[in-house]
C-alpha cells in the first residue's frame, strides 16, 4: 500500500487584520486580528472527495483560498505529493494554478461577461498548454464541453445567454482545461436552483470517478456532504473540531457542534434528532474567539473546564478525532 499523501496540511494558520480607523486611533485601540484558519491539520488521499462543513464564518473558504495562494499563510506547512510548497517562491501561483483549480459559488460573477464560452476556454488553454496549436486548442475546448455535458452549440454564447447550470458547467470546464489534480469547490451549487443542484453534483461525482480527480468540497448543507463525500471535516471559528469518515460523523458524532448541525438536517439521522439539543444562538465574531473551548457560548453541555481550557485532539479511533473535553459522554 502506498503511504504517500496527495495533500497534507500541518498547523496551518491564516490571519486577517482589521485596519485601524480614526476612532481606533483616538481611543488608542489596537488593530484587531481575525484567526480565519487556526492551527488546521488535514490529510487528503488521491481521488478522495473530502467535505468541509460548518456555518458561515467557520473558515472553510479561507482555508481553500490559502491553498491556492489567494489568502496569505501566517504559518504552517503544506505538502503536495510529499513535497513542501513554498508559497513565497517566485512563480508559485503559476505552479499552483496548474495543480489546484477552484470552482466558485456564483458562476455568473466568475465568468467574463464579454467572452464567449469558446474564448473563455481558449484563454486558459493557450496560457497553460503553450505547445498546442489553434486547431488543437479548438478541439480540446469541444472535448471539455462534452466532458461537462454541454452542447457544442453553446460555444459562441456569452454568460448572459446561459442558464445558471450551464454557466457552472462552463466554470467547471474552465477549471478542467488546466488538467488539475485537485478541484477546490467553494459552495459550487448554492447559487443554483434546487432542480439544477443535483445535476451539477452528479457531474462532479462522474468527474471524480472518470478522472480520479481529488476534490475538497466546501458546503454548509450536510445533505450535499452526505451525497458527495467519503470523509468530513467539521469547522468552527477557524478550527477543524471533528474529522472522520462520513458514516462515523453522521452516525456517531463526538462534538456537540456536529450534533447540532446534524439536528438541523434531521432526515440525515432522524434517530439522533434530540441528542443533546440543537444549535443555540449565532456563531461568535472571529475577532473575539471565546477562551477555552471556542464552542462554549453555544453548547448545552458546557462545564467549568470548557471556559478555562481549550480541548486537545482526542481520537475516537484511528480515522475519527474530535476536540471536545466530554466527547465520551456523547
Query: Which has the closest alpha carbon to 281: 306, 262, 298, 293?
Result: 298
Per-residue pLDDT of the chain (330 residues; tens, 9 = 90+): 455 789 999 999 999 886 655 555 565 556 678 999 999 999 999 999 999 999 999 999 999 999 999 999 999 999 999 999 999 999 998 999 999 999 999 888 999 999 999 999 999 999 999 999 999 999 999 999 999 999 999 999 999 999 999 999 999 999 999 999 999 999 999 999 998 999 999 999 999 999 999 999 999 889 999 999 999 999 999 999 999 999 999 999 999 999 999 988 756 655 555 555 568 888 998 888 999 999 999 999 999 999 999 999 999 999 999 999 999 999
Across the chain, the runs of DSSP E, i.e. the strands, are 7-18, 32-44, 49-53, 75-80, 83-84, 100-103, 182-186, 214-219, 231-236, 239-245, 314-317, 320-322
Beta bridge partners of residue 18, listed in sequence order? 32
- The residues facing 9 across adjacent strands are 42, 78
Distances 97 to 22, 46, 69, 235, 317 between C-alpha atoms, Å = 39, 18, 9, 25, 36
Determine the pLDDT at residue 1: 44
Exposure string of 196-214, with b = 16+ CB inside 10 Å and e = fewer, is: bbebbbebbeebbeeeebb
How many residues are recorded in the chain?
A: 330
Residue spans of the domains in the chain: they are: 239-330
Q: What is the pLDDT of residue 144?
A: 98
Amino acid at each position: 500500500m502506498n503511504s504517500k499523501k496527495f495533500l497534507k496540511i500541518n498547523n496551518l494558520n491564516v490571519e486577517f487584520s482589521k485596519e485601524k480607523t480614526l476612532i481606533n486611533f483616538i481611543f488608542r485601540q489596537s488593530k484587531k486580528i481575525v484567526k480565519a484558519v487556526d492551527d488546521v491539520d488535514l490529510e487528503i488521499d488521491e481521488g478522495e472527495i473530502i467535505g468541509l462543513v460548518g456555518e458561515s464564518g467557520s473558515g472553510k473558504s479561507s482555508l481553500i483560498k490559502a491553498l491556492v495562494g489567494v489568502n496569505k499563510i501566517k504559518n504552517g506547512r503544506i505538502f503536495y505529493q510529499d513535497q513542501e510548497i513554498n508559497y513565497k517562491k517566485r512563480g508559485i501561483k503559476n505552479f499552483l494554478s496548474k495543480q489546484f483549480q477552484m470552482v466558485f459559488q456564483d458562476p455568473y460573477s466568475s465568468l467574463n461577461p464579454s467572452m464567449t464560452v469558446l474564448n473563455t476556454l481558449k484563454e486558459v488553454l493557450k496560457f497553460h498548454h503553450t505547445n498546442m496549436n489553434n486547431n488543437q486548442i479548438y478541439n480540446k475546448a469541444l472535448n471539455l464541453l462534452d466532458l461537462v455535458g454541454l452542447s457544442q452549440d453553446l460555444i459562441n454564447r456569452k454568460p448572459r445567454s446561459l442558464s445558471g447550470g450551464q454557466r457552472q458547467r462552463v466554470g467547471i470546464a474552465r477549471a478542467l482545461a488546466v488538467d488539475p489534480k485537485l478541484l477546490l469547490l467553494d459552495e459550487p451549487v448554492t447559487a443554483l436552483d434546487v432542480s439544477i443542484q443535483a445535476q451539477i453534483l452528479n457531474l462532479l461525482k462522474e468527474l471524480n470517478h472518470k478522472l480520479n480527480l481529488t476534490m475538497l468540497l466546501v458546503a454548509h448543507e450536510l445533505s450535499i456532504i452526505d451525497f458527495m463525500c467519503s470523509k468530513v471535516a467539521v469547522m468552527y471559528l477557524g478550527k477543524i473540531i471533528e474529522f472522520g469518515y462520513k458514516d462515523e460523523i453522521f452516525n456517531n458524532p463526538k462534538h456537540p457542534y456536529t450534533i447540532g448541525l446534524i439536528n438541523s438536517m434531521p432526515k440525515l439521522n432522524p434517530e439522533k434528532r434530540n441528542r443533546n439539543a440543537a444549535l443555540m444562538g449565532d456563531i461568535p465574531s472571529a475577532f473575539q474567539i471565546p477562551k477555552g473551548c471556542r464552542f462554549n457560548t453555544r453548547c448545552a453541555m458546557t462545564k467549568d473546564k470548557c471556559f478555562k481550557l481549550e480541548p486537545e485532539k482526542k481520537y475516537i479511533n484511528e480515522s475519527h478525532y474530535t476536540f471536545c473535553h466530554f466527547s465520551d459522554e456523547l
